[in-house]
Structure 1
Amino acid sequence: MSPRRTVAEARQTRAGIVRHGVAVASVEGLEGLTIGRLAADLGMSKSGVLGHFGDKETLQLAVVELATDAFWRAVWEPVADTPAGLPRLRAVAGSWLRYVASDALPGGCFFMAVGPEFDDRPGPVRSAIAGAADRWHRELLHQARLAGHWPGEEAEQVVFELTGVLLALHAAHRLRRDPSAATRAARAVDRLLVVPDRRTAPGGPVG
């Protein structure tokens, strides 16, 4: 066997371990992602799995990285060519909604599953999860600001509420098995992402 083939096979094996790790972590969390569990699932020895990563934290970080890439491919890339601003924000929201409701992973959205697990646990894994969430928040906020309808802090509020809708969808769909969750979430997004009517203000008509 040539050294080149050996390296390629090692990379392929490592990629397969990480892909399976993403699926497992979506259900059992990153702490449930043990070397022994992966070895048993994949028919490998513990040393064979460990040899690709060195320790559990490195494995967890590789899983977060792959999950981040997969999320952007599934949610962002299909709508990336939509005109920037409100059209793209609406398209991204719809794509995100479909992703959360699609059961693409056994445990649903990876980040909604593992985020609460590490939200108060400082360290490299938390930083990686928070970094992925911050990147997504910045992109949503960028599109909200490009829309030009929500000045200043209003754009932040729109993104905050949009994120809340998707979190509610995940909880209703995964925990309560609510068959109407996706429809209700879509209605909430439609109500949120409308052009504000500024003809009236809290004190009455703007004349």
Structure 2
Amino acid sequence: MDSHRHRCKWACGNMLLRDYHDAEWGMAIKDARALWEMLVLESFQAGLSWNTVLQKRENFRRAFAGFDPEKVAQFTEHDVQRLMQDAGIIRARLKIEATVKNAHAYLQMQAKGEDFADFAWGVAQQNFVKTEHSHALAQTLASEALSKELKKRGFRFVGPVIVYAWMQAAGMVNGHEPDCFRHHACE
């Protein structure tokens, strides 16, 4: 991508951020498993920079069995301890444990015939208010509603701020700055 195009301010730090912004961020993710992977990564990003997560993304994929919810749901305390020693990922016990719990919640939804992607997009669209989507917001009514519904289904570490970041990354809302060259493409 052209380095002279106007991008969201957060995407101008380095080539990794720029490439992620230009090729992935804000593009609609409709695949349930890919959407779950993004939610896991967003939960690990909480309190840190997205650049840190991007640098470790492949390590996360390796550590969490390719983000296969069936495999992650089988993780034991031994696996949590192993991951706590893995310098290739963000070693936060609560986030690791939440990922395992979230794999269980994902599978429980699946067992009940509820597709994770259809659920997430449905709740987000049902609660979306046109005036609330902005690159400057940290959370919205839609992210609050989706956070609440995720928690009802047993998900953890999914507060409205994390959920809003996830919604932006997954294209459920357009978080691109109005003068960013990707803004109209993600509308």
Q: Fold-level match, TM-score > 0.5? A: no
Q: Normalising to structure 1: TM-score of the pair?
A: 0.25
Task: Provide TM-score, normalisation by structure 2.
Answer: 0.27
More helix by share: 1
Higher-Rg structure is 1
